[in-house]
A and B are shown apart, each in its own frame.
Chain A
Amino acid sequence: MSSLDILVTYDVETQEKSGQRRLRKVATICQNYGQRVQKSVFECRVTQSQLEDMEHQLLKVIDKERDSLRIYLLYGDRNRVTRVYGRDDYIDYDAPIIL
C-alpha cells in the first residue's frame, strides 16, 4: 500500500448558486484527502484506493458541462518533481507533527 503524490486542480463555474455549492463541495472533498497549496490547487498523498474514492466523489459533484477537473499523478518523490517559488505553506504530513 504505497502512497503516491497527486495534484488536483479545478475550475468550477460559480455564476449561479448551484455552482457555488459545487465549488464548496469540491473543496471539501479535496481537503479530506490533502492540502490546499493554491486557491484551487491541492496536493494529496494518497493510496491507490483513496485516489479512486476521491475521484469517484469528485465526479459525482462536478457538472461536466461547466466545470473542469484535472488530476495529475506525480511519479517520483514530490520533493524531486516539484519546484516551488514564492509563498509556500505546504506541510509534510509524514514529518513529525508536534504542536
Chain B
Amino acid sequence: MIKTILNTLYVQTQGSYLHLDHETVIVEQEGEKALQVPLHHIGTIVMFGNVLISPYLLGRCTDQGISVIWYDVYGRFSARAVGRTNGNVLLRRAQHQVLNDEKRALKLASRFVIGKLRNSRSVVQRAIRDYPDSKTSLEKAAKQLNQCIRDVDKQVTIDELRGVEGYGSSVYFEAFSSLLRTDDDFFVFELRSRRPPRDPINACLSFAYSMLTQDCISALEGVGLDPQIGYLHTLRPGRPALALDLIEEFRAYLADRFVLTLINRKQLSKSDFDMRPGGAVLLNEKGRRTFLAAYQKRKQEEIHHPIINQRVPLGLLPHVHARLLARYLRGDVADYVPFIMR
C-alpha cells in the first residue's frame, strides 16, 4: 500500500472564501486569512452551505484528484466536482461484463450482503456481552441475523438477495435502540427514518452514511472503477450504486458504532441539533463540528487488516476494498472478500 491518508478540510463557517495561492489553499473569513495549508496535505475539501471556492482552486483540485464536495447548510449532500474521466477503460468494461453475467453479479452482490450482515451481527454480539440487561432481545436478534447469513447463499436472484438484506437490516435496527446507553430522553431511537431523519440518532446515522458514501466514491474513483455501476443496488441515473454496494460492509463498523460511541459518551447534546418544521431533526453547525472532528480522528485509528495482513488506518478501508474489488472484477482473484470486523 503506497497510499497515505490525506486530511480533509471541512469548511462550514458561512461566508468563507477558499482560494489558491501558489501551492496552498487559503481560507478567508470576514476578509481575514483564517488558514493557509499546502495542497499536498489535503485529499478532500468539504463545504457546507454558503462557502465560496475560486475557479482556480477548483481547477487545481480536479487536476490533482482532490475531491471537492458540497453539502447544504443542514449537511445534506448537494454536489461533488469530478475531473476528467480517469482510470482504466478495460477495468470499467470488466465492470459491465460482470453486470451482464447474472451468476457473477449475484455472487458479488451476496458478498456485500454477507459483509453487512456479519458486521451487524458483531455489533449486536458485542452488546450482548456488555449489556446483560437486554440480553434476551439482543440474543434473539443475533440468532435471526445468523439465519439471514445462512440464507444469503441460497438465494437465486438478486431480488431475493435484497429481501434477505432488507429483513436482516430491519432485525438489526429493531435491536439498535438497546445499544444506546444514555439516560437522556432526548436521544431515543425507534425506527430507522431517513429523508428526513426524525430523531437525533437517525440524524447522526444519515450524516455518517453520507460521509461514508463520499469516502467510498472517492476510493472507487481512486482505483479507476465507475462508482455508478453497482450490483446489489439497481442502476439509476446519478446514483452511485457501486459506492452504495461497497458501504454495506462498512456501515456497522465505521458508521453505526461510531454514532453509538458519540451518543453514549455524551459527546453530543440537545443543543447540537435543529428541529425543522415537519418533524425533521438535523445536526446543526455546532453539532457537525463535534461530529466531524471525531470522525476525522477515527479515520486515523489503525487496525490490523486480516486480508492484506497489514496495519491500516480506518480511513483507508474503503480504498483497500476498492482495490480488492478491482482485482476481482479484472479476474485476478477468484472471489471478493468483504471487510469483516473482529
Contact, CB under 8 Å: B24 / A32: yes
Q: Mark B118-161, 1 if CB is under 8 A from A, else 0.
A: 00000000000000000000000000000000000000000000
- B-facing residues in A1-18 (Cβ within 8 Å): 1-3
Q: Which of B12, B40, B296, B300 contacts A99 (CB 8 A)?
A: B12
In this assembly, does B93 line the interface, its C-beta being within 8 Å of a C-beta of chain A?
Answer: no
Nearest CB of chain A from residue B156's CB, rounded to whole Å: 45
**Residues of chain B from 231 to 261 with CB closer than 8 A to chain A in the complex:** none
How far is B11's CA from A26's CA once the two chains are assembled, in angstroms? 29
A97 & B10 in contact (Cβ 8 Å cutoff): yes
* A65 at interface, CB cutoff 8 A: no
Q: How large is the interface on B (under 10, 10 to 19, 20 to 34, 35 or more residues)?
A: 20 to 34
Q: Which chain A residues lie closer than 8 Å to B35 at the CB level?
A: 91, 97, 99
With beta carbons under 8 angstroms apart, the residue of A34, A44, A46, A96 that contacts B296 is A96
Q: Which of A80-99 contact B (CB under 8 A)?
A: 91, 93-99
| Contact indicator per residue, chain B 5-23, by CB within 8 Å of chain A (1) or not (0) | 0011111110010000111
Contact call B41/A93, Cβ cutoff below 8 A? yes
User: Which residues does chain A contribute within 8 Å of B13, judged by CB atoms?
Assistant: 99
A80 to B11, CA, bound (A): 30
Given contacts A31-B38, A33-B23, A96-B8, 9 further A-B contacts (CB under 8 A): A1-B2, A31-B23, A35-B38, A50-B40, A99-B9, A99-B12, A99-B16, A99-B27, A99-B34
Give 5 pairs: A residue, B residue, CB < 8 Å, sorted on A.
A32-B22, A93-B37, A95-B296, A98-B10, A98-B293
